[in-house]
């Protein structure tokens, strides 16, 4: 008697090797058609040749003595060397925020904190470096730098605590640390070791960061208020907001910086205590707030009006409709534009050299022009400054992309 044979499917064959791995990637992206293959054949050798020349110059011909011999000036400008412990103390306080962010949000924040800690260790173990030119780093400077690992851990523990690890506490802590940092840098007359240091002596990367943080922190809420005011039904409020936005968007930032240093003092009393750094920070903030307002207004206009009508039908007052329904969605939709504006703000801080401030770019230029031995190191100076700006801007862009991914920006 014949037995029925059981049917079994044929085993699945693996995909062709030319469609997987790096061979498949190259075929799909570099040699997908004859035009793509031609462009690849022409450009890849040029890119390899340029990269080889650049790497050969960076690690062979380039002279980085300029950067290694002037770390203090690149970081804190003309801030007194004997008071360098004060910027270092502010650095310790900032590390607390990195630790809290790593514990509270994890993911990208944790990776950034790990990279921040790795850089701190690297700077702390270098034999030469910060705040002393050409000599071995003093033990107290090394202790301050490596102490950031301790404050980073303290911040992580605070972020892990359910009572302290809240976004509201993080924001309030950031504000408190920022105010305390400014107080430490300026000094308190009459207190030993806290001699007053005029803001005109601030410089280097410290000046860029202070101006950028001030601008970002204040420009965002001001921009939100301006965007809401421009959409207001009150004619006076709307006209004032429109005039403010159009004036600051229509005038170059360089012109506004000149006006803040030349024209604004004419309108103030002779002994009015507003230094040049404060005036520059105010102008940069207002300039960025005008662009931020237009970004947020675009997000508000992109919302369907039926949402506001439904909220009003449920009995919600106007301020709740704006703050709970419209504004969160608008900000979520324009995160790329807002972060792009903040990145532009950080880069625009280098323009303060026009009004006599020694930011990191101007400080490097003055070192090159003021020392005969560094006359030929202009390229090294510019590449170093560009790398510093790129690190900060790329970090901001990376955090923005992670926030967009978590919030589902661009996806329904």
Residue 269 buriedness (CB in 10 A; 0-12 / 13-18 / 19+):
exposed
Residue 128, pLDDT score: 53
Find the angle CA(151)-CA(400)-CA(179) to the nearest 5 degrees. Answer: 40
Contacts of 111 (CB under 8 A, 6+ apart): none
Residue 269, SS3 per DSSP: coil
Q: Which pLDDT value is given to residue 157?
A: 92
> Can you tell me the distance from the alpha carbon of 155 to that of 98, in angstroms, rounded to the nearest whole number?
7
pLDDT attached to residue 84 = 85
Q: Using CA atoms, how far apart are residues 232 and 241, in angstroms rounded to an integer?
A: 9
What is residue 82's predicted lDDT score, i.e. its pLDDT?
83
Alpha-carbon distance of 151 to 149, in angstroms, equals 6
Torsion sign (Cα): 303, 305, 306, 311? positive
pLDDT at 57: 86
CA end-to-end span of the chain: 62
Q: What is the pLDDT of residue 369?
A: 86
Q: How many CB atoms lie within 10 A of CB 353?
A: 19
DSSP code at position 127: S
**What pLDDT is attached to residue 271?**
67
CB 276 within 8 A of CB 357: yes
pLDDT of residue 83: 85
Q: What DSSP designation does 398 have?
A: H
Q: Compute φ and ψ for 179, nearest 5 degrees.
A: -65, -45
Give the helix/strand (H/E) hosting 359. Answer: strand 358-359
pLDDT in tens, the chain (412 residues): 555 567 777 666 666 666 666 777 777 777 778 888 888 888 989 999 999 998 888 888 888 888 877 888 888 888 888 888 888 898 899 999 999 998 988 877 888 889 888 888 887 776 654 554 555 567 777 888 888 899 999 999 999 988 888 888 898 998 999 999 988 988 888 777 788 888 888 888 999 999 999 999 999 999 999 999 998 888 899 999 999 999 999 999 999 888 888 777 766 666 666 778 888 888 999 999 999 999 999 888 888 888 888 888 888 887 888 888 888 888 888 888 899 999 999 999 999 888 888 889 999 888 888 888 888 888 888 999 999 999 999 988 988 888 888 776 666 5
* Cα–Cα distance for residue pair 164/103, rounded to 1 Å: 11
> ∠146-148-149 over CA atoms, to 5°?
80
Per-residue pLDDT at 409: 66
Q: List CB contacts of 347: < 8 A, sequence separation 6 or more.
A: 389, 393
Helices (H), 302-359: 305-313, 318-320, 327-333, 335-348
Instruction: Note the pLDDT tens digit of each residue in 120-167.
Output: 888 777 665 455 455 556 777 788 888 889 999 999 999 998 888 888
Is 225 within 8 Å of 319 (Cβ atoms)? Answer: no
- Long-range contacts formed by 322-326: CB under 8 A, 24+ apart: 322/228, 326/300
Query: Which contiguous run of DSSP H or E holds residue 404?
Result: helix 378-407
Residue 24 CA to residue 30 CA, distance in Å, equals: 10
């Amino acid at each position: 008697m014949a037995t029925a044979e059981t049917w079994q499917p044929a085993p699945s064959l693996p995909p062709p090797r030319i469609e997987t791995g790096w061979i498949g990637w190259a075929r799909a992206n570099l040699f997908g058609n004859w035009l793509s293959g031609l462009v690849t054949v022409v450009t890849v050798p040029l890119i390899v040749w340029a990269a080889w020349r650049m790497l050969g110059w960076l690690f062979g011909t380039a002279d980085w003595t300029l950067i290694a011999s002037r770390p203090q000036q690149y970081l804190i400008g003309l801030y007194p060397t004997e008071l360098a412990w004060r910027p270092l103390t502010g650095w310790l306080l900032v590390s607390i925020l990195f630790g809290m962010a790593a514990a509270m949000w994890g993911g990208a924040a944790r990776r950034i904190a790990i990279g921040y800690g790795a850089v701190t260790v690297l700077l702390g173990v270098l034999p030469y470096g910060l705040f002393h030119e050409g000599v071995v780093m003093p033990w107290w400077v090394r202790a301050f730098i490596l102490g950031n690992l301790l404050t980073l851990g303290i911040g992580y523990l605070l972020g892990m605590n359910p009572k302290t690890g809240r976004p509201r506490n993080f924001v309030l802590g950031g504000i408190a640390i920022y105010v305390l940092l400014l107080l430490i840098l300026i000094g308190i007359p009459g207190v030993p070791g806290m001699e007053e240091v005029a803001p005109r002596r601030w410089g280097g990367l410290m000046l860029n960061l202070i101006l950028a943080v001030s601008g970002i922190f204040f420009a965002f809420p001001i921009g939100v208020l301006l965007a809401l005011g421009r959409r207001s039904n009150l004619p006076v409020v709307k006209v004032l907001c429109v005039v403010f936005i159009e004036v600051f968007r229509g005038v170059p930032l360089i012109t506004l910086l000149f006006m803040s240093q030349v024209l604004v003092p004419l309108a103030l009393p002779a002994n009015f205590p507003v230094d040049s750094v404060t005036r520059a920070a105010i102008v940069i903030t207002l300039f960025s707030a005008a662009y931020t307002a237009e970004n947020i207004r675009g997000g508000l206009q992109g919302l369907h009006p039926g949402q506001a009508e439904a909220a009003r039908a449920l009995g919600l007052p106007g301020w709740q409709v704006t703050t709970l329904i419209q504004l969160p969605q608008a900000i979520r939709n324009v995160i790329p534009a807002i972060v792009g504006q903040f990145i532009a703000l950080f880069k625009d801080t280098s323009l303060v050299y026009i009004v006599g401030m020694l930011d990191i770019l101007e400080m490097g230029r003055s070192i090159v022009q003021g020392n005969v031995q560094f006359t030929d190191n202009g390229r090294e100076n510019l590449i170093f400054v560009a790398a510093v700006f790129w690190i900060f801007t790329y970090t901001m862009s990376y955090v923005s992309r992670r926030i967009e991914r978590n919030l589902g920006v661009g996806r329904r």
